Structures are given as C-alpha cells and as structure tokens.
Amino acid sequence: MGSGQVQPILDALKTVAVAFKEESIPFALAGGYAVYARGGGDSRHDADVVICGEDVHRARTALRGRELEVIDPPEDWLFKVRHGGEQVDVIFQLASGPVDAGLLDRATELQVDSVRMPVLAATDLLISKLLVLTEHYCDLSPILALIRSLREQLDTERVDRACADQPFARAALGLARDLSLLPPPHQGAP
C-alpha cells in the first residue's frame, strides 16, 4: 500500500487521537492500524479507535469542537468521524462486550506516525477479531495473518479462555495450531 493511499486516513486518525489526548478521553487504537503499529502486516485500510461507553458524549463533543463531522451509522456500537474525506470508527462496544477500563489499561503507548497513542494489546486485538466470527462471516485470512505476525505478543491462555464457548473462534485457533502458528493449548484449556 503506497503512502499516498495511507496518508489521508492516517491524518484523520492522528486528528482524532490528538483531540482525545487533549481532552483526556481514554482511548486506544484498534483494528488494522493497531496490528500494523504492533509490527504486524500492512492492513491499514480503515482506522478504528475504542473508547468506554461512558465517554461517548464527551468524545463526540470534543470532536465537534474541532469542527470534525460526527456521523451516526445505524449500528449502535460505534460512531464515525469524518476528516478530510476519510472516516475513523469510534467503537465503544466490541463483540466481547463493552469497552472498559481494563481493556484500555492493557494498551501500550506506541508511536503511530508522528503521534504517540495507546494501541490495544495483541491479545485483545486477536480476541476481538475471533469473537466476530459466525456462519455469516468467517474470513480466517486476517486472523491467521495477525497470529502469524504477532504470536510472540499473544497470551494464548487468555485467548483460549475468552473463546471457550465460541465454536468459530475455537476452529480458527485449532487451524492456527495445526499450522504451527500457536503452541498447543495449555493443560486445562479447551
């Protein structure tokens, strides 16, 4: 992906991140940019950040105060911010449940282009991708790529516990283990 294609969305992401930092709104980078920031493959086709549900009103107000367009999609688990023709998804509900302080506390501050920002932990990135798998959406390519590139950063015991009652997630983890991308499950793990 050339830098000309990435720069407008990266500028939008940085604008949102700086606004949240200046207003002391806890957040973390998620999605493809977070995988890339953690050393994974280049999957920067959209920008996602996560915030706690109780911060949604404050976040929307902060972004509008910077003359950014806040968009309400039909989904009730996120809102979107438009900057320079690009959109950033601001997510407050993941497949694993509401974004909470624990999730944000596990994030690590990393350099993303010219802005330091919290980036979701690799384990949380993987869990969030695994838990959206269903019979209607079961694309394993991005999951296997994430595991392959970030496996040294993963807490596989926590991943196994989070996915214990999710058959599509367990199947993806089983395939990753069959391909030697992950170690065998720990004793007592599913």
Q: Which amino acid is at 105?
A: D
Domain annotation covers residue 22: yes
State whether 114 and 26 are in the same domain: yes
Select from 141, 149, 134 the least CA-distant residue to 175.
Answer: 141
**Block residue for tokens 């909470």:** 100
Domain annotation covers residue 65: yes
Domain annotation covers residue 165: yes
Distance from C-alpha of 161 to C-alpha of 150, rounded to nearest angstrom: 19
Q: What is the pLDDT of residue 5?
A: 59
Domain count, the chain: 2
Q: What is the mean pLDDT of each run of 10 residues along the chain (190 residues)?
A: 65 95 97 93 83 98 93 96 94 95 97 94 97 94 95 97 97 97 75
Q: What is the pLDDT of residue 187?
A: 59
Enclosing domain of residue 105: 3-120
State whether 151 and 85 are in the same domain: no
State whether 93 and 35 are in the same domain: yes
Which neighbouring-strand residues pair with 93? 98
DSSP 57-108: HHHHHHHHTTTPEEE--S-SSEEEEEETTEEEEEESEETTEE--HHHHHT-E
State whether 42 and 108 are in the same domain: yes
pTM of the model: 0.91
Domain annotation covers residue 161: yes
Decide which of 120, 146, 170 is a domain's last residue: 120
